[in-house]
Structure 1
């Protein structure tokens, strides 16, 4: 190998190394292409590197997608096509795209196909160039064109090296496009999901409004329970989606009371055993109202289970332990805290401190989930639970 050949290879290797650094880090096609071009032109004698994308229009134009180099003013505004019937399509770039093979212009002063650009190239000291096709899915999509300030700057070895770089560009562009499509699909699905959530929230809001029109107390109770339940769930570190579903369930956890006579809901004295039995049916009624609505969370089951207890002493199904959903366990604690802390038609408010003492007792008796209760106690100790009581 002659010293001149070795020098050419060293130039190309250094340019390749500079460019390869950006291939794995680029986040957009523009960043990838520009980074490669800049990497090439850091190395002498490469005065311009640019990537052209073949456009399938009647003129078969080549769009500049990225460019770098001290002589890049030469290529700015220049017209290139990959149509072989036009003079501007017979240079290295157009021919590389059209033929799918590397095309070299050894000397700008001698190559007849370079005639349309010869005078302009002389102004910028351009003497040699090579056009390398860029493939994506085995189809030519454009070309990487490199210009030098010395004639006959590329041997077969250097051209192979630049072809490898062009292949990496094509692979990188295809990968970024795939990622872009996947990202667009993800955003589309998220938008569709958000629209569904918004629709479901409107449904829940309409239900809560119905309750408020019939029984303002119950509606206010549900809103306060929702705030407390969310705070407890966050303290427990539950997933955001789980917390969202819990909020929705809490806002309508007493929806079944629409079937309870209003005189029972507002009775100023203690309910009789028969009346209490009728009142307990609100959980089953709520389940029947909600079970056929396609919520992405088990809202109907949480509503039915929020009076269940871990030891099986709750209602309506007498569920035990893990048979009870975590959301229902949180609702149970939030429901007791809000109910005891607030005024009832048959008694005055008992206060937040009394409510906390009650849930601690029931947790100790195996009725309430101790993890949920401890989260509520932490909120209480920090003074953060009282603010959740505002309706």
Structure 2
């Protein structure tokens, strides 16, 4: 049993140190905390190799281990002062002297424990200062875990004392240094607060993942040993070493390339409900990226994030090129006074920090982290100004284009790590969508500037036609929202309604402005406006829904419409919606040749045509909207909450 412990425990310790070091470093290679942890994991790996029989590596590991822990604590507590750098350099220099001094380090246990044990004690002092300087419960918990890891390091001193009495406890230290890197890795994770359910989920997931790694190790180890026995005459001790080395390298490559996929698969398998939630958010993000109306987009995003995180207040700030400042574009739960004052220049503390550090900012971090010394009060004042507790940057090509601000949660709880990560992923989608939207908006403005001449000429010829288009756009958009159509389709209904009669610019004034009834020949000319509108739209790639709105809004279920005499479901849904909106406004508005019908009369005409000329579902939806608003149609383009 003792021989098994001497071989397998250091071997597992070596593998776990290498894997954890690589895994943690991959999470954030630029962070000094993650870098120094990975360096400490490397020192542990060297020490474990020493226990496997490489005496010089054991000596090296014993010297480097307390120095690595001290370096890790300095980075974690932001204590890399010039004095501490000198102390650390002296430690490494002293370690070099120990290594080159004749004899073995074990002969100098007293001096070793005195000098290098001091680095553990000095680390404990900094952790103590950190615990007294923070009121953040998550930070306090993290320090507690690190203190436990520190005592595992100091266990070496206790072992040396016991050895002097003839009690051999060295194998137990082998066990402690296997678990120590796991505890430290978890302590790093505590920098990101996690709910109890999330912690249990992560522990379960990574436990299963660890079991998979260990089983893979034994399987690969067996394969390599059998292979080496066949192809070589290496003796068993060397055989074990070489096969272990090959196995370790293979596992590092496997974990590096397949680790994320394996963890994702395990989490999906064990926690499918949680995974489906993430998948639904991802699908929502993809849908939002296809919406090109900024107002609809921002309103929907804010509603989704607000419900997702259960916050009382939230807002989105975007860069205003004209005013050269960040302004609040959309808000939930904030007073008008807060909205009016919610603007920041590029020189404000919050904006400067988010431009430099493009990651979420939580108010707990600002209050407790020494990194915010000098800017803390200004950043807190900026967050207070907009009643924010968490700030999520919207970044494109390393340039800050806006902020998503979340206030206090209704439950009073802090933001947990999985919520921060989820909203951060959404913000990445939001940033990309805003840029795409800006590009699309620029292109469409370029073309609309060309056809604007047509629109102005149409307005000059018949101002009522232009006003009719604006109302139809509002009606159609409201119907689409009430029917629960996708956001991009609702946006297309708005745009399609605005330009559905654009083809009328090709109709002569004599026909378009004629006060009396049109002749058959004149009506045939008017009917050409749908196809004329289509030709005007050809140079730009409008969505299919916009094209259908312009081309087919005069089609009827009976097949008696134009230009293609489509019947029933042959008519696109957006065109059926546009038809109801168009005919209602036509009936309820004055024309050159007749007076407007009353609201009740227009409703009755729609009911008579439902199922014959007009889509009955669309008619019912529209009538319910009119009923709720008592005929006074509110501008539905102002809020995505409008039905």
TM-score scaled to structure 2, two decimals?
A: 0.40
1:164-188 Cα deviation digits (max 9, x unpaired): 3456689999979998996565234
CA distance in 2, matches of 1:218, 1:263: 15
Give the match's secondary structure for 2:535.
helix
The residue aligned with 2:113 is: 110
CA distance in 1, matches of 2:634, 2:468: 11
Among candidates 361, 372, 375, match of residue 621 of structure 2: 375
Does the 8 Å contact 2:548/2:574 carry over to 1?
Answer: no
The residue aligned with 1:19 is: none
Aligned CA RMSD, in angstroms, stands at 4.6
CA distance in 1, matches of 2:514, 2:479: 31
The residue aligned with 1:255 is: 502
CA distance in 2, matches of 1:315, 1:91: 92
The residue aligned with 1:328 is: 575
Task: List runs of 5+ in structure 2 lacking aligned partners.
Answer: 2-26, 38-67, 96-108, 129-145, 159-171, 193-258, 261-416, 637-643
Aligned residues: 303
The residue aligned with 2:265 is: none
Give the match's secondary structure for 1:212.
helix
Deviates most, 379-388 or 332-341: 379-388
Among candidates 430, 433, 438, match of residue 190 of structure 1: 433
CA distance in 2, matches of 1:384, 1:64: 68
The residue aligned with 2:175 is: 157
Residue 53 (structure 1) shift: 3.2
Report which of the two structures shows the higher radius of gyration computed on alpha carbons. Answer: 1
Among candidates 261, 264, 282, match of residue 511 of structure 2: 264
The residue aligned with 2:150 is: 147
Among candidates 340, 344, 348, match of residue 591 of structure 2: 344
1:176-218 Cα deviation digits (max 9, x unpaired): 9998996565234212222144336636864464332443221
Q: 1:159 to 1:387 in 2, by over 3 A?
A: same
Q: 1:107 to 1:200 in 2, by over 3 A?
A: farther
Does the 8 Å contact 2:73/2:127 carry over to 1?
Answer: no
Instruction: Note the 1:46-65 alignment, pairs <5 A.
Output: 51=33, 53-54=35-36
Instruction: Note the 1:1-391 alignment, pairs <5 A.
Output: 51=33, 53-54=35-36, 66=76, 77=81, 86-89=89-92, 110-113=113-116, 117=119, 120=122, 146-148=149-151, 151-152=155-156, 155-166=173-184, 185-199=428-442, 202=445, 206=449, 207=451, 209-210=455-456, 211-364=458-611, 366-387=612-633
Q: 1:148 to 1:215 in 2, by over 3 A?
A: same
Q: 1:180 to 1:124 in 2, by over 3 A?
A: closer
CA distance in 1, matches of 2:126, 2:74: 19
Pick 1 or 2: higher relative contact order, CA cutoff 8 A, min separation 6: 1
The residue aligned with 1:137 is: none
Does the 8 Å contact 2:559/2:565 carry over to 1?
Answer: yes
Does the 8 Å contact 1:376/1:385 carry over to 2?
Answer: no
Does the 8 Å contact 1:52/1:63 carry over to 2?
Answer: no
CA distance in 2, matches of 1:122, 1:161: 19
CA distance in 1, matches of 2:120, 2:185: 29
Give the match's secondary structure for 1:264.
helix
CA distance in 1, matches of 2:634, 2:563: 28
Residue 316 (structure 1) shift: 0.2
Give the match's secondary structure for 1:387.
coil
Residue 270 (structure 1) shift: 0.6
Q: 1:327 to 1:200 in 2, by over 3 A?
A: farther
Bigger proportion of residues as strand: 1
Does the 8 Å contact 2:531/2:563 carry over to 1?
Answer: yes
Q: 1:169 to 1:257 in 2, by over 3 A?
A: farther
CA distance in 1, matches of 2:94, 2:470: 73
Does the 8 Å contact 2:626/2:633 carry over to 1?
Answer: no
Give the match's secondary structure for 2:35.
strand
CA distance in 2, matches of 1:346, 1:375: 30
Give the match's secondary structure for 2:150.
strand
The residue aligned with 2:385 is: none
Does the 8 Å contact 1:200/1:295 carry over to 2?
Answer: no
Task: List runs of 5+ in structure 1 lacking aligned partners.
Answer: 2-27, 34-49, 68-72, 93-105, 127-143
Residue 358 (structure 1) shift: 1.3
Deviates most, 161-170 or 327-336: 161-170
Bigger proportion of residues as helix: 2
